[in-house]
């Protein structure tokens, strides 16, 4: 087992733990829309990992799944940030950005269906950069206030800033035969582990003790 | 040929790694930036709260001190002006009851008792008047301030020039605050400023404005900012209750100017 696999399995384990602990929090925090949306998000990532594993098991090309991954992640996290943001204008901006980007991507696939079988650069950039922006805006919003979802937000910022460039280069990496190129996916695995750890820290700091109250 | 391709691939990888590294660095520095800004903001807020609390505490101390001083003064006044005099009356009455006096002495004693009781009555009236001037209750701020000025003028301590144009725009309790402020200003001018002339004008035609100028010793603005006397704090908090703005100017040896403006809101 190489390092890449170790990190990949580690991230899957932490992800499963996160899904379990967050689902336990559902009973106490079900009334909070942000919490519900975030639970859907990690639940979705978890299911996605299972599907990816099955595809890998049956040796089916899974690149086309990346489109669902990026778009659904974008939509769910957009909903999440829309609940988190307090200002009406900020919420409106998120709605507008979401509708615009999804329309652009749909139009793109209608005109160039061939993009479906590889990494779509514009799709990756369009669905990741707004989320990075939202995370920065959220940091700005909570300056001097109660630190809501600050760890998850840090995770989103770190993971997306690092992995976006990696996915943009994805087509090149997949096409290449060099072993070194393949091993660059380890960066993604490490970032994903960090992301999952931060999500776990968020649960520990914000939701674990409050459950007892 | 193969080596060239490999080299090219490796350079792309290096480029990728460097790019990701730079992006992560930027994200991390952003995180740190927000973390430290947050800390700074909270620090500032704490300082502000501390300042507010210490101001409140000072105000409370000042209030308690004023209260104690006032109690002492009233006790002194009661003792000097009333108890002592009543004692005299009681003694004289005892002498009368004993009946060992001739007609002339009896009359003298009665006269004495009469004059002492008249005096005491006057003293008690003045005492009550000082605590809450009835003229303020009955005739309003304008009359009360005019009377206050007349009292100071007749005591020959101060020459006061006053222009008062008041249309009863303030509530009764606010009138009392304003009266106390004027009283405090005049007292300060006499006690601390050793002023001989005061110019007081109250104008109520637009917003409520009180201008007060004396020709006393004045004070140093910087040192007064650091350590305010009870009188000034008292004025400040009363102006705050009135929802007005207080500004003052002074120079050592050049008198002092006080300015109070109360903006009229529909509710007041």
User: ipTM of this model?
Assistant: 0.77
A4 touching B (Cβ < 8 Å) = no
Same-domain status, B5 and B116:
yes
Same-domain status, B79 and B127:
yes
Instruction: Please say if the pLDDT value at position A13 is more than 90.
Output: yes
A154 touching B (Cβ < 8 Å) = yes
The tokens for B104 are 């002339």
pLDDT tens for residues A78-90?
Answer: 999 999 998 899 9
CATH number of the domain at B172, please: 3.30.565.10
Q: Write the residue in A143, A158, A165 that is nearest to B16 by C-beta.
A: A165
pLDDT tens for residues B87-106?
Answer: 989 998 888 888 788 888 88
Give the helix/strand (H/E) hosting A61: none
Same-domain status, B228 and B112:
no
Residues recorded for chain B: 268
Q: Which of B186, B113, B108, B102 has the alpha carbon at shortest distance from B144?
A: B186
Same-domain status, B210 and B251:
yes
Same-domain status, B217 and B186:
yes
Give the helix/strand (H/E) hosting B132: none
Domain boundary among B105, B131, B157: B131
**At which residue do the structure tokens 């290096």 appear?**
B14
Residues of chain B numbered 41-80 and touching chain A (CB < 8 Å) = 41-42, 45
Same-domain status, B114 and B21:
yes
Partners of residue A161 in chain B, C-beta under 8 Å: 23-24, 26-27
Q: Which residues does A165 contact at the CB level (< 8 Å), separation at least 6? A: B16, B19, B20, B23
Same-domain status, B248 and B140:
yes
A139 touching B (Cβ < 8 Å) = yes
Taking the alpha carbons of A44, A45, A46, A51 in that order, is the dihedral positive or negative? positive
Q: Is residue B116 a contact partner of residue B89, using CB atoms and an 8 Å limit?
A: yes
Within its chain, how far is the Cα of A142 from the centroid? 21
Lowest mean pLDDT among B129-133, B233-237, B244-248: B129-133
Confidence of residue A199 (pLDDT cuts 50, 70, 90): very high
Compute, in degrees rounded to 10, the torsion defined by CA atoms A46, A51, A52, A55.
170
One-character DSSP codes across B38-70: HHHHHHHHHHHHHHHHHHHHHHHHHHHHHHHHH
What is the Cα–Cα distance from A164 to A64, expressed in whole angstroms? 17
Same-domain status, B115 and B10:
yes
Task: Supply the range of the domain harboring residue B121.
Answer: 1-131
Lowest mean pLDDT among A205-209, B22-26, B185-189, B262-266: B262-266
Please give the mean pLDDT across all residues of chain B.
85
Domain boundary among B81, B101, B131: B131
- CA B184, B189, B191 angle in degrees (round to 5)? 90
The tokens for B29 are 């520095």
Q: At B35, is the secondary structure helix, strand, or coil? A: helix
**pLDDT score for A127:** 94
Mutation for A interface: B2, B27, B45, most A CBs within 10 A: B27
- CA A171, A106, A36 angle in degrees (round to 5)? 90
Q: For chain B, how many structural domains are there in total?
A: 2
B8 touching A (Cβ < 8 Å) = no
Average pLDDT of the segment spanning A56-65: 84
Which residue(s) pair with B256 in the sheet? Answer: B214, B250
Give chain B's end-to-end CA distance (angstroms, integer): 92
Same-domain status, B64 and B9:
yes
Domain boundary among B112, B131, B150: B131
Residue B44 CB burial class (10 angstroms; 0-12, 13-18, ≥19)? exposed
What is the Cα–Cα distance from B103 to A172, expressed in whole angstroms? 133
Same-domain status, B189 and B252:
yes
**pLDDT score for A92:** 94
The tokens for B4 are 């060239």
Instruction: Please say if the pLDDT value at position B2 is more than 70.
Output: no
What is the Cα–Cα distance from B142 to B175, expressed in whole angstroms? 9
Same-domain status, B13 and B123:
yes
B13 touching A (Cβ < 8 Å) = yes
Average pLDDT of the segment spanning A86-104: 93
Same-domain status, B107 and B177:
no
Contacts 24+ apart (CB under 8 A), B184-190: B184/B231, B184/B234, B184/B235, B185/B212, B185/B214, B185/B235, B185/B258, B186/B148, B186/B149, B186/B152, B186/B158, B186/B160, B187/B231, B188/B231, B188/B232, B189/B158, B189/B214, B189/B216, B189/B256, B190/B152, B190/B157, B190/B158
Please give the mean pLDDT across all residues of chain A.
87
């Amino acid at each position: 087992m190489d390092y890449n696999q170790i990190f990949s399995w580690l991230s899957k384990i932490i992800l499963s733990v996160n899904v379990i602990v967050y689902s336990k929090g559902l009973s106490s925090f079900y009334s909070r829309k942000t919490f519900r949306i975030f639970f859907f998000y990690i639940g979705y990532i978890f299911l996605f990992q299972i599907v990816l594993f099955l595809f890998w098991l049956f040796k089916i090309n899974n690149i086309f799944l990346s489109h669902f991954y990026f778009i659904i992640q974008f939509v769910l996290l957009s909903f999440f940030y829309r609940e988190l943001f307090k200002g009406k204008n900020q919420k409106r901006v998120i709605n507008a950005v979401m509708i615009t980007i999804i329309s652009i991507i749909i139009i793109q696939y209608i005109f160039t269906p061939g993009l479906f079988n590889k990494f779509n650069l514009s799709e990756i950039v369009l669905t990741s950069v707004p989320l990075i922006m939202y995370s920065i805006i959220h940091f700005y919003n909570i300056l001097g206030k109660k630190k809501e979802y600050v760890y998850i937000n840090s995770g989103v910022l770190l993971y997306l800033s690092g992995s976006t460039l990696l996915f943009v280069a994805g087509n090149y990496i997949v096409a290449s035969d060099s072993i070194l190129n393949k091993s660059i996916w380890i960066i993604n695995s490490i970032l994903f582990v960090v992301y999952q750890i931060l999500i776990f820290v968020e649960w520990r700091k914000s939701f674990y003790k409050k459950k007892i109250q | 040929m193969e080596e060239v391709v490999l080299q090219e691939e490796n350079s792309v990888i290096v480029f990728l790694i460097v790019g990701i590294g730079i992006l992560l660095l930027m994200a991390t520095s952003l995180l740190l930036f927000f973390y430290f800004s947050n800390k700074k903001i909270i620090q500032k807020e704490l300082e502000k709260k501390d300042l507010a609390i210490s101001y409140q505490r000072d105000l409370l101390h000042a209030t308690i001190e004023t209260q104690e001083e006032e109690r002492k003064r009233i006790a002194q006044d009661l003792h000097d002006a009333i108890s002592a005099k009543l004692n005299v009356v009681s003694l004289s009455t005892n002498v009368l009851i004993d009946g060992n006096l001739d007609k002339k002495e009896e009359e003298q004693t009665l006269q004495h008792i009469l004059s002492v009781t008249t005096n005491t009555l006057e003293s008690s009236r003045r005492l009550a008047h000082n605590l809450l001037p009835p003229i303020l209750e009955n005739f309003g701020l304008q009359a009360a301030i005019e009377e206050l000025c007349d009292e100071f003028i007749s005591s020959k301590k101060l020459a006061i020039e006053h222009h008062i144009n008041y249309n009863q725009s303030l509530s009764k309790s606010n009138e009392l605050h304003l009266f106390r402020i004027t009283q405090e200003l005049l007292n300060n001018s006499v006690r601390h400023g050793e002023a001989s002339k005061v110019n007081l004008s109250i104008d109520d035609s637009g917003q409520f404005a009180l201008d007060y100028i004396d020709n006393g010793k004045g004070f140093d603005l910087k040192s007064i900012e650091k350590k305010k006397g009870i009188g000034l704090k008292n004025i400040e908090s009363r102006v705050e209750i009135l929802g007005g703005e207080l500004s003052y100017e002074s120079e050592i040896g050049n008198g002092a100017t006080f300015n109070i403006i109360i903006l009229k809101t529909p509710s007041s």
